[in-house]
Amino acid sequence: MAEVGSDVQSAAQEFADEHLSMPGVNAIGAGFRITGGGISDEPCIRVLMTRKRPRSFVPNSMIFPDSVRIHGSRLKVDVDEGGPFYSLQVLSLADEVAHTTGLLGVKTDVHTGRVRPAPFGVSIGHVDVTAGTLGGVVHDQTDGSLQVLSNNHVLANSNAGDSGDAIVQPGPADGGGAPDDALAELKRFVSLKWDEQNNADCAIATPSSSSAVINDSASDDVGPCGEDHPAVGLVFAGDCSGLTLVCPAAAINSELQVDFPGGHQDPSSGMIVEKVGRTTGWTAGQVRETGAHAKVSYGTHGTAIFTGVFTVPAFCHGGDSGALVMQAGLP
Task: Say if residues 301 and 192 touch (Cβ distance below 8 Å).
Answer: yes
* pLDDT the model gives residue 52: 84
Dihedral (CA of 234, 238, 242, 248) sign: negative
Q: What is the CA radius of gyration of the chain?
A: 19
Whether residue 166 contacts residue 155, with contact meaning beta carbons closer than 8 Å, is answered with no
CA distance 179 to 198: 33
Which helix (H) or strand (E) covers residue 167, if one does?
strand 166-168
The reported pLDDT for the residue numbered 79 is: 93
Q: For the chain (length 331 residues), average pLDDT per consecutive 10?
A: 79 93 94 83 93 77 84 86 86 47 56 95 96 97 97 97 98 95 98 94 96 94 92 96 96 97 94 95 94 94 95 94 91 57
Per-residue pLDDT at 93:
42
pLDDT score for 189: 98
* Strand 258-259 versus strand 244-248 pairing type: unpaired
Give strand pairing partners of 229: 226
- State the Cα–Cα distance between residues 277 and 285, nearest whole angstrom: 13
Cα–Cα distance, 284 to 32 (Å, whole number):
19
Q: How far is CA 161 from the centre of its chain?
A: 21
With 0-12 / 13-18 / 19 or more C-beta atoms within 10 angstroms meaning exposed / middle / buried, residue 143 is exposed
Amino acid at 255: E
> DSSP 3-state assignment of 274?
strand
Q: What is the pTM of this model?
A: 0.91
Cβ–Cβ < 8 Å for 303, 194 = yes
